[in-house]
Amino acid sequence: MDTLDAWPGSPGPRSRRPAEPPLELGTAGARRGGGAHGGVLGEIDLASTPAAVRPARSYIRALVGECCDAGATVLDDLELLTSEAVTNCVVHALPRPDGTVRLRALQVGPFIRVEVTDGGSLPGGRTVPDDPLADNGRGLYLIQALARDYGTHQHTDGTTTFWFRVTVDQGW
């Protein structure tokens, strides 16, 4: 299956019901140089709503599975961490000016780097709870446990990119 075929807005059969607004506002980015040594595998703009988490997970799993021949464990980890990162952005940050968050996957040597760009922090900020058993705030604990590393980057336009890397063992 071609990764682009699985996303709302792509050509395909139409139902009789009126279409709901798509969660994906842009089109999936074309793969650009995601060969053996690295490059952007793909990117997609998603509506900055909690409903965007599911297509984000599916997109990363399908994209990395197709492009990198990653094993099931790596794909499971990428799917879970993507879910946590996108959830954090749509719940605790502002959307970008067009109402979206951008999800991007890159291959950097033996790593897959996933980036989620939002419109920046909400006023007042957010703290991570000290208790890992708290009702919320466990996403960062999962990222710390499963990702090789992670971080954030503040852009001059006010947007913020959260990123994490996961090792893909392809014999490197």
Provide the 8-state DSSP code for 93.
Answer: B
> Residue-wise pLDDT tens for the chain (172 aa)?
344 334 444 333 333 333 333 444 444 444 344 445 569 999 999 999 999 999 999 999 999 998 887 889 999 999 999 999 999 999 999 999 999 999 999 998 899 999 999 999 877 655 555 565 555 666 777 888 889 999 999 999 999 999 999 998 654 4
Q: How far apart are CA 81 and CA 87, in angstroms?
A: 10
Specify the pLDDT at position 20. 38
Q: What pLDDT score does 150 carry?
A: 93
What is the model's pLDDT at position 133? 59
Length of the chain: 172
Contact present, 164 and 149 (Cβ < 8 Å): yes
Buried b or exposed e, range 134-164, using 16+ CB within 10 angstroms: eeebebbebbeebbeebeeeeeeeebbbbbb
> Which domains are assigned to the chain?
22-167 (3.30.565.10)
What CA–CA distance (Å, rounded) separates 122 from 46? 19
The dihedral built from the CA positions of residue 128, 132, 136 and 142, taken in this order, carries a sign that is positive
pLDDT number for residue 141: 78
One-letter amino acid of 56: A
* pLDDT for res 33: 44
